[in-house]
């Protein structure tokens, strides 16, 4: 049984069709990427999985349908979601942001250990503890955002464009962290425009085109697939 | 008009008196700011809730002889519950239907609620001005040549301790941090397992409970009347614009500033003129620094 199973998901924004009949699967222990151009529906897919937008179709996590479960009850089911552009609480300190990651009463008891764990993953956060989140650089903010999600001790982590606007050095750092988190047993689903970057990091990938699933497969298979090059003609490869 | 040293003394005396009543203004602005900072709703019923709190304290004092300063022991839980339920039953259902970031229908609903409460109070308690006399009512301290009203001094102290307690609550407890988090990013808060609707109930409840402290501080030196809220609400608006919408320290400092402006201007002219100056400051601020002195910029 896959960890996450999305079947025939359709999302409308008013009259605009953002996703149409999209089905994906993520298996336990995998890193899976969703690629596609701007407006192809990558973020919408993640937002529908966490319940931030409503859609028709099935979303099943560890055999349990998420239908009708409000967003704020999904972290307790093991689902964490880092939104595009980090979205830290700008006027809270780094530490407060992290503490809120373990807000759920069931997580509070182990908060100190969780903090220890994420700060060993991101040593810079220890130095930044008492700084306001908005004063951090983009790369540091991304680290806090991932660390905050990890404070919730998720089994499944979704990252929406985690590399957006980061320096090449930071892209490398964040990639390493995603691998490290995955090695601790967290299954990861992330979005990214760049094919090379995405497929270099993930086991499998899905490619969306105008809200529909265009292509899917293992990362090695996709890289060798001529159709990938057709779909991505004129799009950035970097 | 007096001149020279006497003049300076008068101005200082005016500023002192203003500073002391400014504490109570700050409390009301604090309530307004807590709700605005959390859910982007300007609560037009804030002043009326102060009126409700004043009638509660007045009634307790008149019927049971309880000192006004002790009435919050009973009124705070009652007012918290009232605010919690107003949010749960009236504000939340409307808020759920509104997609806008600064929901207009909710704002109008709070205005409607304030009219209902005010007119119910008129019916129930008539338009008489009610006052209580306690030891603090006319008591003063002399510091050098200056007169300090003891009742107003306690008001200022009540404000300072409320601000300190509220700040500790907002920064050191999980619930407090969640209230700030929801105000800054509701979606992310939900993703972290925070139920924003429950947080709103608490924010509205706390903001209403604060009116109980303001009411107890006011009662010894101010009249209770069904329309008493309006006066204070208008000042609270000036204060939050001065101090910054959503800023807690801004509300406290803005309250003191408004008190001082009133006190000092009131020396030179009549009270009505002080109000005109106050609203002139308000309009000027809106033109030149709409985010307020300590206001945070919004995305």
CA distance A194 to B130: 72
pLDDT confidence of A47, banded at 50, 70, 90? very high
Q: List beta partners, residue A212.
A: A209
Among candidates B174, B191, B195 on the partner chain, residue whose Cβ is nearest the Cβ of A81: B191
Backbone angles phi, psi at A215, to 5 degrees: -160, 150
Residues of B in Cβ contact (< 8 Å) with A103: 174, 177-178, 192-194
CA distance A77 to chain B (A): 10
Main-chain phi, psi angles of A131, to 5 degrees:
-85, 150
By the CB < 8 Å criterion, does B119 face chain A?
Answer: no
User: How far does A84 lie from chain B, in Å, by closest CA?
Assistant: 11
For chain B, what are the domain ranges?
4-288
Residue B3 has pLDDT above 70, yes or no: no
Pairing of strands A16-26, A156-159: unpaired
Q: What's the average model confidence in pLDDT over A13-23?
A: 93
Structure tokens at B201: 């109930």
Domain B4-288 sits in CATH at 1.10.3470
Burial B230-268 (b: 16+ CB within 10 A, else e): bebbebbbbbbbbbbbbbbbbbbbbbbbbbbbbbbbbbe
pLDDT (0 to 100) of residue A155: 97
Q: What are phi and psi of A210, to 5 degrees?
A: 45, 45
**B249 pLDDT more than 90:** no
Give residue-wise pLDDT tens across range B174-220: 999 999 999 999 999 999 999 999 999 999 999 999 999 999 999 99
In the three-class reduction of DSSP (H, G, I as helix; E, B as strand; rest coil), residue A104 is classed as coil
What does pTM read for this prediction? 0.92
- The mean per-residue pLDDT over the stretch B169-174 comes to 95
User: By C-alpha distance, which of B18, B20, B46 is closest to B236?
Assistant: B46
User: Distances from the Cα of A138 to the Cαs of A90, A145, B145, in angstroms?
Assistant: 12, 10, 58
Q: Would the pLDDT of B297 be above 60? A: no
Rounded CA-CA distance B4/A44 in Å is 71
Instruction: Report, as an integer, the average pLDDT of B52-67.
Output: 96
Question: Is the ipTM, as predicted for this complex, more than 0.90?
Answer: yes
């Amino acid at each position: 049984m896959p960890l996450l199973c999305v079947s025939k998901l359709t999302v409308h924004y008013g009259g605009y069709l953002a996703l149409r009949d999209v089905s994906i699967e993520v298996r336990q222990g995998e890193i899976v990427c969703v690629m596609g151009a701007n407006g192809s529906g990558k973020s919408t897919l993640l937002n529908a999985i966490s319940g931030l937008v409503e859609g028709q179709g099935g979303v099943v996590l560890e055999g349990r349908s998420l239908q009708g479960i409000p967003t704020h009850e999904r972290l307790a089911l093991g689902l964490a979601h880092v939104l595009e552009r980090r979205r830290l609480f700008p006027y809270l300190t780094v530490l407060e942001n992290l503490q809120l990651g373990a807000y759920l009463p069931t997580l509070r008891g182990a908060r100190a250990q969780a903090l220890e764990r994420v700060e060993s993953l991101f040593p810079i956060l220890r130095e930044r503890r008492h700084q306001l989140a908005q004063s951090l650089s983009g790369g540091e903010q991304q680290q806090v955002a991932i660390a905050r999600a990890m404070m919730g001790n998720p089994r499944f982590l979704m990252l929406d464009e985690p590399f957006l606007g980061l320096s090449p050095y930071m892209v490398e750092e964040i990639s390493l962290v995603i691998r490290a988190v995955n090695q601790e047993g967290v299954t990861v689903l992330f979005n990214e425009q760049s094919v090379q970057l995405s497929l270099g990091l993930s086991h499998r990938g899905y490619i969306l085109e105008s809200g529909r699933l265009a292509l899917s497969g293992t990362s090695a298979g996709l890289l060798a697939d001529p159709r990938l090059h057709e779909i991505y003609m004129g799009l950035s490869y970097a | 008009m007096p001149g020279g040293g006497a003049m300076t003394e008068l101005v200082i005396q005016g500023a002192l008196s203003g500073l002391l009543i400014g504490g109570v203004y700050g409390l009301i602005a604090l309530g307004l700011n807590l709700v605005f900072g959390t859910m982007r709703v300007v609560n037009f019923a804030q002043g009326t809730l102060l009126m409700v709190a004043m009638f509660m304290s007045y009634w307790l004092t008149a019927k049971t002889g309880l000192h006004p300063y002790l009435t919050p022991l009973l009124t705070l839980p009652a007012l918290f519950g009232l605010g919690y339920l107003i949010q749960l039953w009236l504000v939340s259902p409307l808020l759920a239907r509104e997609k806008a970031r600064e929901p207009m229908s909710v704002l109008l609903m709070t205005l409607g609620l304030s009219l209902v409460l005010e007119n119910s109070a008129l019916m129930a308690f008539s338009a008489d001005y009610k006052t209580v006399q306690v030891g603090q009512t006319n008591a003063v301290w002399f510091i050098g040549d200056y007169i300090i009203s003891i009742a107003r001094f306690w008001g200022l102290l009540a404000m300072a301790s409320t601000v300190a307690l509220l700040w500790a609550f907002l920064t050191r407890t999980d619930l407090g941090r969640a209230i700030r988090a929801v105000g800054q990013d509701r979606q992310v808060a939900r993703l972290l397992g925070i139920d924003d609707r429950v947080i709103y109930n608490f924010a509205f409840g706390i903001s209403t409970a604060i009116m109980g402290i303001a009411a107890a501080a006011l009662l010894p030196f101010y009249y209770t009347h069904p329309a008493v809220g309006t006066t204070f609400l208008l000042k609270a608006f000036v204060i939050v614009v001065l101090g910054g919408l959503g800023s807690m320290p801004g509300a406290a400092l803005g309250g003191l500033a408004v008190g001082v402006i009133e006190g000092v201007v009131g020396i030179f002219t009549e009270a009505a003129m002080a109000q005109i100056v106050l609203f002139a400051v308000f309009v000027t601020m809106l033109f030149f620094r709409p985010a307020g002195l300590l206001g945070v910029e919004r995305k």
